[in-house]
Amino acid sequence: MTEPFVHIDRVSMRYGGVEGTLALRDASLAVGEGEFVAVVGPSGCGKSTLMRLVTGLWPPTEGTVVVNGREVTGPLSIAGMAFQNPTLLPWRRILPNVMLPLEVVRPHRGQLRAQRAQYERKARDLLKMVGLEGFEDRYPWQLSGGMQQRASLCRALVHDPRLLMLDEPFGALDVFTREDLWDVLQSVWMAKKPTVILVTHDLKEAVYLADRVLIMSARPGRIIAERRVPYPRPRRLDQTYEAEFQAIVHELRDRIAEARKGETADAR
Ligand SMILES: Nc1ncnc2c1ncn2[C@@H]1O[C@H](COP(=O)(O)OP(=O)(O)OP(=O)(O)O)[C@@H](O)[C@H]1O
C-alpha cells in the first residue's frame, strides 16, 4: 500500500496538564491522497481536537501526526480550513478576505504581485460559484451568517490546498444553503481531488460527500469503526432519499448511539 497522505498514529491528547481533560486516547487514522473522509461521533468525543492536531495548531501529548510524508510540528501551510463559525477579518472586504491565503501561503505569496489579476479572477470565480457574485466589495458584517460561511469556504479553497480540513463548515446553515454547498464542495473535489477530512454531526452530509465515514468513540476519542460509501460521483441529492442511502445513515446512527453508551468511566 502507498503511504497515506495523512497518518495519525496512536495519538493521545490531554488538555491542561496531567490532571486535565483527556480528549483523545490512542487514536489512529490513515487517509489516502485525494480521499474524502468524514469523521462522525458523539458530541465532545475529540473531533475538533483531531483536526487541530492534523493542522498543527496543537501538538499531540503522545503519538505522531504525519502529513505528506512529514511529521507535523507546527501550523500546516498546505491545508485549507473552514470551521463552523466563519472567521473572516471584519476590517477587510469579502474579496480580500477570500484572497488572504494567497498573501500568506507559499508559493502563492511570492507570486501574488505578478499574478494578482489571475488570482483575483480565481477568487471571483469561487465567489460566483457559491452565489456571492456582487458581494465582493462588501464587509463581512454586511452579509448574513450563511453568506459569510460561503465566503469562508471560498477562502479555504482559493489556494488549491492539497488538504482540506473542514470542521462543521455547514453546521450553522439552513438546509437549502447546506445542500447547495455540498454540491459546490463535491464539484471542487471532483475537479481538484484534494484530500478532505470533514467533521460533521450531519450523517446524511457525511454519506453524501465522503468515500469513507469514520466513527469515533465517546471521549477519550479514537476511531472505532468505518463505513465505505459505495456511490460513484457525481452524487445527486435525490439519492439521499433512496432506501439504501438511508440504511447507511441509520447504520451510522446506531453505531454512534452504541459509542455514546460507552461514555465512560474511562474519560480520565
Ligand atoms: N482548549 C481546550 N482546553 C481544554 N479542554 C478542551 C479544549 N478544547 C477541547 N477541550 C475538551 O476536549 C474534549 C474534546 O473536545 P472537542 O472539541 O475536540 O470535541 P468535539 O468532538 O469536536 O465536540 P463537538 O462534537 O461538541 O463539537 C471536550 O471534553 C472538550 O471540553
Indicate if ligand 1 lies below 6 Å from the C-beta of 15.
Answer: yes
Q: Are 76 and 67 within 8 A, CB to CB? A: yes
Q: Find, among 28, 51, 52, 19, the residue nearest to 38 by Cα.
A: 51
Q: Show me where the domains of the chain are located.
A: 1-74+211-268
Question: How far apart are the CA of 126 and the centre of ligand 1, in A?
Answer: 32
Q: Are 24 and 13 within 8 A, CB to CB? A: yes
* Sequence letter at residue 214: L
Which pLDDT belongs to residue 263?
Answer: 62
The hierarchical CATH code for the domain 1-74+211-268 is 3.40.50
Question: How far apart are the CA of 50 and the centre of ligand 1, in A?
Answer: 10
Q: Are 197 and 29 within 8 A, CB to CB? A: no
Indicate if ligand 1 lies below 6 Å from the C-beta of 171.
Answer: no
| Atom 29 of ligand 1: nearest residue by CA position | 44
Question: How far apart are the CA of 24 and the centre of ligand 1, in A?
Answer: 10
Question: How far apart are the CA of 191 and the centre of ligand 1, in A?
Answer: 33
Q: Are 208 and 180 within 8 A, CB to CB? A: no
pLDDT in tens, the chain (268 residues): 578 999 999 999 999 988 899 999 999 999 999 999 999 999 999 999 999 999 999 999 999 999 999 999 988 878 888 887 778 999 999 999 999 988 887 777 777 777 888 989 999 999 998 889 999 999 999 999 889 989 999 999 998 899 999 999 988 788 988 998 899 899 989 988 999 999 999 999 999 999 999 999 999 999 999 999 999 999 999 999 999 999 999 999 999 999 888 765 455 5
Which pLDDT belongs to residue 127?
Answer: 94
Question: How far apart are the CA of 242 and the centre of ligand 1, in A?
Answer: 34
Question: How far apart are the CA of 44 and the centre of ligand 1, in A?
Answer: 5
Give the cell for residue 112: 501574488
Indicate if ligand 1 lies below 6 Å from the C-beta of 58.
Answer: no
Give the cell for residue 259: 459509542
Beta bridge partners of 216: 223
| Atom 6 of ligand 1: nearest residue by CA position | 15
**Distance between CA 194 and CA 153 in Å, rounded?**
14
Which pLDDT belongs to residue 133?
Answer: 96
Which pLDDT belongs to residue 1?
Answer: 55
Which pLDDT belongs to residue 192?
Answer: 87
Indicate if ligand 1 lies below 6 Å from the C-beta of 161.
Answer: no
What secondary structure does DSSP assign to 194-249, as a single string? -EEEEE-S-HHHHHHH-SEEEEEPSSSB-EEEEEE----SS--GGGGGSHHHHHHH
DSSP 2: P
> What count of other Cβ atoms lies within 10 Å of the Cβ of residue 9?
17
Which pLDDT belongs to residue 264?
Answer: 52
ipTM: 0.97
Indicate if ligand 1 lies below 6 Å from the C-beta of 21.
Answer: yes
